Structure 1
Amino acid sequence: MSETDRGDFRARIRRNFARQAAMQTIGAALTRVEHGVVEIELPFDVKLTQQHGILHAGIISAALDSACGFAAYSLIDPEASILTIEFKVNLMSPGRGERFLFRGEITKPGSTIIVADGRGYAISDGPAKLIASMTGTMMVIRGREGITG
């Protein structure tokens, strides 16, 4: 599939991101949309922490899943959609920072199954700190009622 066959994937991703109530709820913003790469940023909010004041693993996982899923969206035709069918998250360092960056990148494109890798970073003063990684498998969905691109 050529780049022109995908239509305006950036606009489609932005529309779909705006429809994701979960990302709105946590205050996430879509900050980069490229072919095969999507970034989502999130400011620190105490309401998103676990009992030790660290960003909750569920929030980290949700943001990485969305970044990887939308990176997959950048590869598919406009009539198709994406559903995550599997992922694994490694939590490498406590989620402490003023804000967080979640990057999803395509590792293996495909017509039915797409594999993506994600990285989560805590950002404060100094260099960004890697806090999590994810490998996810996404399925391209076509012609399923209630699921559209």
Structure 2
Amino acid sequence: MSASLVEAKRVFDSAPFIASLGCHLDTLGSGVCHSHIVLAEKHQQQDGYVHAGVQATLADHTAGTAAVTLIEEGQRVLTAEFKINLLRAATGELLICRSSVLKPGRMLIIAESEIYTKQVGSADDCSLVLVAKATVTLAVTNK
């Protein structure tokens, strides 16, 4: 595994807030990161849907991790801005995020996250329901 992928794995796994939500890293590659959360009652808002904050956090953190795979040693990324479109009420047993870098850059990286829900008993991607989409702008800084 390259040094940038090792650093990206560390970034994903070492954030205490992310761990408290139960976020899990699934796929990591150059400019790509996929993750998921096994949904529980703690992830719900008052009407039983997945809280928008949970969706936004997973979209932001997964996009940031995708960006980390492209930066140089001694650099880090910090979210400068993000926009999320909540497309439908999210229910299910898994929250899945697929993030990829749209535009790498020396100072700014633009990434996109798609958030899906899935019932655990369904094995194929046809059962995924797109519930949110986010665009994340990340500032590249020196440590």
Q: Which residue does the alignment assign to 1:109?
A: 104
Q: Which residue does the alignment assign to 1:8?
A: 3
Q: Which amino acid aligns with 2:72?
A: D
State the SS of the aligned residue for 1:76: coil
Whole-angstrom distance in 2 between the partners of 1:136 and 1:16:
17
Q: What is the alpha-carbon root mean square deviation over aligned residues?
A: 1.1
**Aligned positions, number:** 137
Q: Which residue does the alignment assign to 2:70?
A: 75
TM-score by length of 2: 0.92
Q: Which residue does the alignment assign to 1:4?
A: none
Q: Say whether the 8 Å CA contact 2:12–2:62 is kept in structure 1.
A: no
* Structure 1: tracts of 5 or more residues without a match: 1-6, 143-147
Whole-angstrom distance in 2 between the partners of 1:100 and 1:41:
5
Per-residue CA deviations over 1:30-79 (Å, capped at 9, x if unaligned) read: 11101011011100111110011111000000000001111110110021
Q: Which residue does the alignment assign to 2:81?
A: 86
**Residue 25 of structure 1 pairs with residue 27 of structure 2:** no
TM-score by length of 1: 0.88
Q: Which residue does the alignment assign to 1:128?
A: 128
Percent identity among equivalent residues? 29
**Residue 99 of structure 1 pairs with residue 99 of structure 2:** no
Per-residue CA deviations over 1:78-123 (Å, capped at 9, x if unaligned) read: 2100000000000001110110111111111101100011100001
